[in-house]
Structure formats: structure tokens, C-alpha cells
């Protein structure tokens, strides 16, 4: 399975903060959210059960970190003003009786209130024998607070409460931002539930219609579905004809005709006709419920990864612990007094404070997130965004992603020496009043060519075949290939160009001229053929070319027919295509690509893409798609522009480079600064005080911050931001 999402390997943070605090096992938070949404589906309660409770608990904890950050920051302002070092640096004096005690009281409040999550995390990490960032933060603030408090109470030395307060502020801010980024992890299932209507129109045996909650439907019930309404559950049509939009569930771009005997899927949208269905499956048995279960299972089985900062913090923890203890022991063994030895130890601990390390990754991410948001690229999962730099393959959904998800005219084939504009103009006039997707596509094509359809007289539909009407006294028809075969006009269907278009999976309709009856027969002439297909986005070709130039394999995954998929693949130059893939198979296809050893991104916008988005190493949703796809994804592209995939991957690679540079500096600085703090150059007269150590550490933080800002300059030169 892929290393994936929303649950980080930051055991020092999230398990402690929103898991263990409630006695949960690692990862249980997300599972509760998923499970609750699924239960909500069965009873159609939406946000009921564990999902609402877990979501509320996590939101409350995010608010708790936010509140601690703002309170601690407010208290830090007077701490900075009262600190001797800050006063010396900025050249002002603020002295009054009891100043050290006021400074100590304010710092004690910040230590106790703002530092509480880290102190609690220290206990959890040590209990689990996994010291990490929480241990290091707690150790740093405790040493800083303990030493400075001892100085206030009489120990010779200098306080550095400001360092304590600012360290706590920075860490609270980082944790607040990070926890907020995973808040939406359990929403995908809730959004899936919303696809179903709340009520269904049940037809009683006496013919009366009663609205009942969907949760009360039973197999065998007969349900009326009016035009434009959502299908409440899986069933079979027993009366009526219509076309049903299943794009959000199956990826099928064209509306699917439904007549008695055909199956319908709960959550799909009925078209122009009323349908009566007999309920076949309810609750957990429905197609949508199975998609929900797939998403839930994928969320539960994600493995988790450790990021670079966490590993660096672990080693820095060991170095700080070992270095501090060794420093104290060595100086005592050399005959120095305890105050001197403790001051050296405190300097080591302060200089090893993870200010720079704590900011190395979050600051780069903050800059890159800001940059991406301004360009319509929304990062929902930080860890997945960081993984994006390792991607080797990008798998696109077809409908609504590489294509526009709407029927459009791709070709007009004139026959009988009629010009293209005449063929298109006649078809647009006849389709003027229809809302069928084919009709809309023909009208839009005519509008783009500046054609104004004439008024039609005697308009009527030819059931199952097309439409007809009079233009300027002449009778015309727009019909399907089946109509031509019935009327002995197969030569038009067999025309080489028409056969080529049909072989590409395009929908072909024909425009006929039908003069008045002569001797009981109609002498119909085929004026031309019009081919329609799901329109390929103009930006898709550029996006595919750029991704291949970056060394990535580009693939496509679709529930559409193989002929349509292969036509799109040829047009765009894709490396591989998976066609006629059912929703429950999409995640399996992603897993197949992963088993080839490739790190995969999935780009999609439909409900049927949700399990695949979760299964992929990085899930990228087109923002105009459904809410489900957005919630199941790690990255959301606000625009329907595949080139934004290139932009986000470019940004991910640049962000990773800055992270590595910052981590190298933050850890490399400690490799030099810690020995100096310990006093290795004491015999040469070089001795750092705790205050000097704090200044060096602050300088390291400034360097890390400035380097992160350089990401903005790099992005400004990038050809991708729009």
C-alpha cells in the first residue's frame, strides 16, 4: 500500500495531541471519522455517529492550540520588553522595583500554559521510549525556564526568559497550522453521503405517492424519480424513459439512456424524463455505500512516514541530552564549580534549541503554501505535498480532467456537396429547443461559428431516433445511425470518414433533407454527419508534454469506453491508458502501477475517483469537481487546468530543495555551535555565555527564515505560476 495521507508519522505530535490524549490507538482518529460517516450513510443522518464526535474533538484541539498561541504571544510582548538582553540590543531601559519577579511570573505563565502540550508530549514519548521533537522542545523550554528561575532566585547568571517564550510561541504556531491542515481528513465520507437525497417518492399499491426518508426504503419498493432529481438508491427501471447522468459515479461522460429493465445507481442524476424504479439494494449493499467503504478502508490502511525534520530532531535530542550531560560532568571533573558547569550545560541546551530546526520545514511550507494559494493550488496535506517531489508517474482521470466533461462537436463531415456551415446550421436549428447534451454541443458549435439558427416549424421528436422539423418550407431531420440503416441509407454510415470517427468512440449524428412524399415514399438525402465527443481541454496537451519533459510517465484512467480512451490517449501522447475501469477497480489500478515500483499521483474530480485519490501516493483534485474528490485529495487545483499539476510538482521540488538546505544549516550549525557552547575553546579564551548562545541560535533562525523566503524569488522566475 502507498505511504499516505492525513496521518503523519509525527508520533511526537499528532498521536499525543489528538489521539493518546483520548486514549486512542495511533490512527484511530481518522478511522472514527470514516466509520461515523459510513454509519451516517446507512441511516442517512449525514454527520452523525463517531464522525461528528471525532471531527468536533479535533476541531476543538486545533482551537486549543490557536488559543494557547495567541495568549502566549500576548504575554511574550512584555517579556521581551522586560528582558535585559533585548533592552541592551535595542538600547532602551525599563527598570522598576520587582521587575525580575514580574518577568519571572509572566514567563512562568507562558511555560505552564503554552508549554503544557509539549510537556505532556515529553511524558508520552519517554513512556513510549521514542524521544523526538516533543522531548527536545520540552527539554529546551524546561532547561531555559529552570535555569532562568534559578537566577531570579539567586543563582549567579543571566536570565533568558525571552528565549523560552519565543520558542514556545513558534512551536505552538507550527503545531496549530499543522493540526489545522489535517482537520478535513474525515470529511470525504461525509461528502459522499450527501450525494443521496434525503427523501424518496414511494408509490403505494393504490397509486398514491408518499415521501419517505431514504433510510426507510426497502427492496421491492417502487419509487418515482422526477426530471432533474437524484436517484435515491440502486434499482431497476419499471416505467418511463430518460437519460441519467452517472459521470460522478462511473466516469461515463455521456448521459446513459434508461428504459424499463435498465439498472440505475443511487446518487446519479435523472435527466429529462420521469422514471419509476423498483428498489433492489439499500443501505450497505448500494453502489455508493461500497465506494464509501473503499475510501474508508483505504484511509485505515495507509502506512505512515517520518519526515526529515522529525528524524533530525530525534538525533538532535540525543546530541543535546548527551552533550549537556557530558558538559556538566567534564567541567565538574575538571574542578570547576557547579554554577560554571551548569552555565556551560545550559548554554549547550539553549544553543541546541530547535528554533531553526523547528522552522526549517514549516517556514518553507508556509511560504510555498502561500505561493501556491495565490496561484490557485491548495495544499491540504503537507506530507503528501513533500512526497510529490519523488513522483514518477501521474495518472489522470479523463472526464472533467483531461477533457471538459461535456459533449462538443469535433468534426463536421459534409456529404452531397453541402458546405459544413449549412450542415451545422440546420442541425443547430432543429436542436434549438432541446436540452440534451448532444443538442447543447451542436448549438454551442454553431454559436462559435457565428451561425444564427432559423425558426423551426412542425418540430417533433422521433422516439429513440432523433428530431425533425421544417426550415424555410423544407423538412429536415437530425437522426442516429440506426435510423439511416432502417431507411436503407447505410452508405452514409459506411462512409470512410464517418467510420473513422465512429471507431474513435465518437457519437455521430446525421443531418437529412426529406422532400415531400412522392408516390408514397420519401426521397431523403444525407446532407452530412456531425461527430461529437467529450472535448479535450486545450491545456491538456501542454500539461502532458511538460510532465513528460520532467521525466514522469503520464497515464489515464477512465470508466469510459476503450475506443474513446484510446482516441484521447493518441491525441495527447499518453504513455498508458486504463479504460472501462469501474469505480471499485480504480484504486486497484493505482495499486498495480505502485507495484511496478512507481510513486504515483492521481488527478481526478469525480466521486468514483475518491478511492483512487486516497490510494495514490499523492491525490490531486480538480477544484471544479465534486466535494468528495476535494476532501479525499491532498492537493486541490482551483482551476480546471491540467497545467497546474506541472506547477504544483515544480513547487514541490523547489520546496524540498529549500527544506534540505534549511535542515542542513540547522543541523550543521549545531555541529559547530554545540562544542563551542560546551567550552572546547576555553583554553584559547573562547567561552560562550547562555545569552551569546541564544543570540547564535537566533541568528541561525534568521538565516533559515531568509533562505525560505528565497523560494518566492524562485517561484517568480518559474514559467508555471499563472
Radius of gyration for the chain, computed over Cα atoms and rounded to the nearest angstrom: 33
Rounded-to-integer distance, Cα 32 and Cα 114, Å: 28
Number of residues that make up the chain: 722
Q: Are 68 and 117 in contact (CB under 8 A)?
A: yes
State the DSSP string of 379-390. Answer: E--HHHHHHGGG
The CB-side HSE value for 285 (13 A sphere, CA atoms) comes to 11
Distance (Å) of CA 563 to CA 230, 505, 538, 577, 593: 29, 5, 20, 11, 22
221, 397, 605, 650: the active-site residue:
397
Q: Are 270 and 230 in contact (CB under 8 A)?
A: yes
Q: Is 100 helix (H, G, I), strand (E, B) or coil?
A: helix
Is 211 among the residues known to form the active site? Answer: no
Cell reading at 283:
443501505
State the DSSP string of 496-522. Answer: HHHHHHHHTT-EEEEEEEEPPPBTTB-
Cross-sheet strand order for the sheet of 234-239: 209-213, 199-203, 222-225, 275-281, 234-239, 263-264
Helices 690-717 and 355-374 cross at an angle (nearest 10°) of 20
Of 534, 553, 643, 660, the C-alpha closest to 596 is 553
Cell reading at 349:
541546551
Q: Are 249 and 625 in contact (CB under 8 A)?
A: no
Q: Are 662 and 363 in contact (CB under 8 A)?
A: yes
Task: List Cβ neighbours of 542 (8 Å cut-off, separation of 6 or more).
Answer: 643
Of 358, 340, 353, the C-alpha closest to 678 is 340
Task: List Cβ neighbours of 129 (8 Å cut-off, separation of 6 or more).
Answer: none
Q: Across-strand partners of 258?
A: 242
Task: List Cβ neighbours of 626 (8 Å cut-off, separation of 6 or more).
Answer: 191, 248, 605, 606, 607
Task: List Cβ neighbours of 208 (8 Å cut-off, separation of 6 or more).
Answer: none
Rounded-to-integer distance, Cα 283 and Cα 314, Å: 47
Cell reading at 101:
519577579
Matching residue, cell 451542436: 442
Q: Are 547 and 396 in contact (CB under 8 A)?
A: no
Helices 99-109 and 49-82 cross at an angle (nearest 10°) of 160
Rounded-to-integer distance, Cα 635 and Cα 632, Å: 9
Catalytic residues: 397
Amino acid at each position: 500500500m502507498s505511504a499516505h495521507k492525513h496521518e503523519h508519522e509525527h508520533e511526537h505530535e499528532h498521536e499525543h495531541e489528538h489521539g493518546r490524549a483520548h486514549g486512542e490507538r495511533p490512527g484511530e482518529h481518522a478511522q472514527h471519522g470514516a466509520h461515523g460517516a459510513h454509519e451516517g450513510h446507512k441511516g442517512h443522518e449525514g454527520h452523525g455517529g463517531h464522525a461528528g464526535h471525532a471531527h468536533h474533538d479535533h476541531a476543538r484541539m486545533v482551537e486549543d492550540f490557536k488559543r494557547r498561541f495567541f495568549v502566549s504571544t500576548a504575554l511574550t510582548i512584555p517579556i521581551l520588553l522586560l528582558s535585559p538582553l533585548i533592552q541592551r540590543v535595542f538600547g532602551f531601559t525599563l527598570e522598576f522595583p520587582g521587575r525580575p519577579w514580574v518577568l519571572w511570573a509572566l514567563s512562568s505563565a507562558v511555560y505552564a500554559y503554552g508549554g503544557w502540550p509539549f510537556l505532556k508530549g515529553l511524558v508520552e514519548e519517554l513512556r513510549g521510549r521514542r524521544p523526538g521533537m516533543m522531548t527536545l522542545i520540552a527539554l529546551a523550554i524546561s532547561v531555559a525556564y529552570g535555569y532562568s528561575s534559578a537566577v531570579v532566585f539567586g543563582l549567579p547568571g543571566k536570565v533568558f526568559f525571552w528565549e523560552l517564550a519565543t520558542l514556545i510561541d513558534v512551536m505552538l504556531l507550527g503545531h496549530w497550522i499543522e493540526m489545522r491542515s489535517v482537520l478535513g481528513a474525515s470529511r470525504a465520507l461525509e461528502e459522499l453521503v450527501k450525494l443521496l437525497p434525503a427523501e424518496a417518492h414511494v408509490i403505494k399499491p393504490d397509486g398514491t405517492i408518499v415521501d419517505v426518508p431514504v433510510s426507510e426504503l426497502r427492496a421491492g419498493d417502487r419509487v418515482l424519480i422526477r426530471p432533474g432529481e437524484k436517484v435515491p438508491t440502486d434499482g431497476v427501471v419499471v416505467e418511463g424513459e430518460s437519460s441519467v447522468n452517472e459521470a460522478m459515479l462511473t466516469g461515463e461522460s455521456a448521459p446513459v439512456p434508461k428504459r424499463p429493465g435498465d439498472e440505475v445507481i443511487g446518487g446519479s442524476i435523472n435527466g429529462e424524463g420521469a422514471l419509476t424504479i423498483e428498489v433492489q439494494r439499500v443501505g450497505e449493499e448500494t453502489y455508493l455505500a461500497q465506494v464509501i467503504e473503499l475510501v474508508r478502508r483505504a484511509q485505515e490502511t495507509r502506512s505512515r512516514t517520518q519526515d526529515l525534520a522529525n528524524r533530525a530532531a530525534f538525533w538532535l535530542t540525543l546530541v543535546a541530552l548527551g552533550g549537556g550531560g557530558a558538559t556538566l560532568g567534564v567541567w565538574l571533573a575538571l574542578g570547576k564549580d557547579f554554577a560554571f558547569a551548569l552555565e556551560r550545560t545550559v548554554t549547550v541546551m539553549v544553543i541546541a534549541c530547535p528554533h531553526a530546526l523547528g522552522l526549517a520545514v514549516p517556514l518553507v511550507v508556509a511560504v510555498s503554501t502561500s505561493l501556491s494559494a495565490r496561484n490557485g493550488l491548495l495544499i491540504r496535506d503537507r506530507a503528501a505535498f513533500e512526497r510529490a517531489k519523488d513522483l514518477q508517474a501521474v495518472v489522470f482521470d479523463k472526464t472533467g480532467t483531461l477533457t471538459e466533461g461535456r459533449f462538443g462537436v469535433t468534426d463536421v463531415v459534409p456529404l452531397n456537396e453541402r458546405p459544413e456551415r449549412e450542415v451545422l446550421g440546420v442541425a443547430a436549428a432543429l436542436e434549438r429547443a432541446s436540452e440534451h447534451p448532444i443538442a447543447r454541443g451542436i448549438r454551442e458549435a454553431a454559436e462559435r461559428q457565428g451561425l444564427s439558427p432559423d425558426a423551426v416549424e412542425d418540430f417533433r421528436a422521433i422516439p429513440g431516433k432523433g428530431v425533425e422539423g421544417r426550415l424555410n418550407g423544407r423538412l429536415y431531420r437530425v437522426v442516429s445511425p440506426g435510423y439511416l440503416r432502417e431507411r436503407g441509407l447505410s452508405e452514409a454510415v459506411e462512409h470512410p470518414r464517418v467510420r473513422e470517427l465512429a471507431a474513435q468512440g465518437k457519437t455521430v449524428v446525421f443531418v437529412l433533407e426529406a422532400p415531400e412524399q412522392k408516390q408514397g415514399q420519401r426521397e431523403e438525402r444525407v446532407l452530412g454527419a456531425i461527430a461529437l465527443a467529450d472535448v479535450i481541454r486545450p491545456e491538456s496537451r501542454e500539461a502532458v508534454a511538460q510532465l513528460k519533459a520532467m521525466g514522469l510517465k503520464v497515464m489515464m484512467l477512465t470508466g469510459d469506453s476503450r475506443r474513446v480512451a484510446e482516441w484521447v490517449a493518441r491525441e495527447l501522447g499518453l504513455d498508458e491508458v486504463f479504460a472501462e475501469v469501474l469505480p471499485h477497480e480504480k484504486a486497484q489500478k493505482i495499486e498495480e502501477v505502485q507495484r511496478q515500483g512507481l510513486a504515483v499521483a492521481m488527478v481526478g474530480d469525480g466521486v468514483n475517483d475518491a478511492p483512487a485519490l486516497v490510494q495514490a501516493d499523492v491525490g490531486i483534485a480538480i477544484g471544479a469537481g465534486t466535494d468528495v474528490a476535494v476532501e479525499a485529495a491532498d492537493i486541490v487545483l482551483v482551476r480546471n487546468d491540467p497545467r497546474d499539476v506541472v506547477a504544483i510538482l515544480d513547487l514541490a521540488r523547489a520546496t524540498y530543495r529549500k527544506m534540505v538546505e534549511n535542515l542542513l544549516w540547522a543541523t550543521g550549525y549545531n555541529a559547530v555551535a554545540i562544542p563551542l557552547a560546551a567550552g572546547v575553546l576555553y583554553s584559547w579564551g573562547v567561552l560562550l555565555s547562555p545569552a551569546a548562545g541564544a543570540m547564535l541560535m537566533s541568528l541561525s533562525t534568521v538565516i533559515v527564515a531568509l533562505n525560505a523566503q528565497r523560494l518566492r524569488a524562485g517561484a517568480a522566475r518559474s514559467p508555471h505560476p499563472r
